[in-house]
């Protein structure tokens, strides 16, 4: 059986268009489960800063809205896109709402969690704004807790890009 890679996944954009992650081959990815009504929501600004600062060095931030933690992403895709644009002027790609835990976990997140388990080997995503760093070869390098800010991650990116 052929090994699965990050590039094998199809996802839906925030506009419900099907996209293959193959299009990001050769790029470093920071994949984040996001929410609009969370204490960590201001991280959207930091994520946008990372995206702008490192895009010419190959970084792409990918945001995946999720409503599984405290119902903090109650809006539909159009509302989420408008919120991000108006409040944070986001230009990085946003995707359709997904589940990151439980029986309806998106296949991409099943893969990310198995490749980069959390504390003590647990796979469950603990909260909004958990981040996964994927290198330019498609290998999942690291999982960052929601409390690890985009500014702190910038230090890792400086050495990896």
DSSP string, 87-126: HH---S-BB---B-SSTTB-HHHHHHHHHS--GGG--S--
Of the candidates 38, 100, 153, 157, the residue annotated as catalytic is 38
Strand (E) or helix (H) holding 11: strand 10-12
38 a catalytic residue? yes
Q: For Cα atoms 16, 22, 28, give the angle at the middle one, nearest 5 degrees.
A: 105
DSSP string, 67-93: -TTTT---S-HHHHHHHHHHHH---S-
Instruction: Give 77: exposed, middle or buried? Use CB within 10 Å, 0-12, 13-18, 19+.
Output: middle
Which residues have a Cβ under 8 Å from the Cβ of 116 and sit 6 or more positions away? 132, 140, 141, 142, 143
- Give the residue numbers annotated as catalytic, written as ranges: 38
């Amino acid at each position: 059986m052929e090994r699965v890679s990050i590039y094998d996944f199809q996802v839906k954009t925030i506009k419900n268009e099907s996209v293959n992650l193959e299009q990001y081959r050769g790029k470093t990815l920071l994949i984040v489960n996001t929410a609009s009504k969370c204490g960590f929501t201001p991280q959207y600004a930091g994520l946008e800063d990372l995206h702008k600062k490192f895009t010419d060095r190959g970084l792409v931030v990918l945001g995946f809205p999720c409503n599984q933690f405290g119902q903090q992403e109650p809006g539909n895709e159009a509302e989420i896109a408008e919120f991000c644009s108006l409040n944070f002027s986001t230009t990085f790609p946003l995707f359709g709402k997904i589940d990151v835990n439980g029986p309806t976990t998106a296949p991409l997140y099943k893969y990310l969690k198995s490749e980069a388990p959390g504390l003590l080997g647990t796979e469950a995503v603990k909260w909004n704004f958990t981040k996964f760093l994927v290198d330019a070869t498609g290998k999942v390098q690291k999982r960052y807790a929601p409390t690890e800010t985009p500014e702190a991650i910038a230090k890792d990116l400086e050495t990896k890009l």
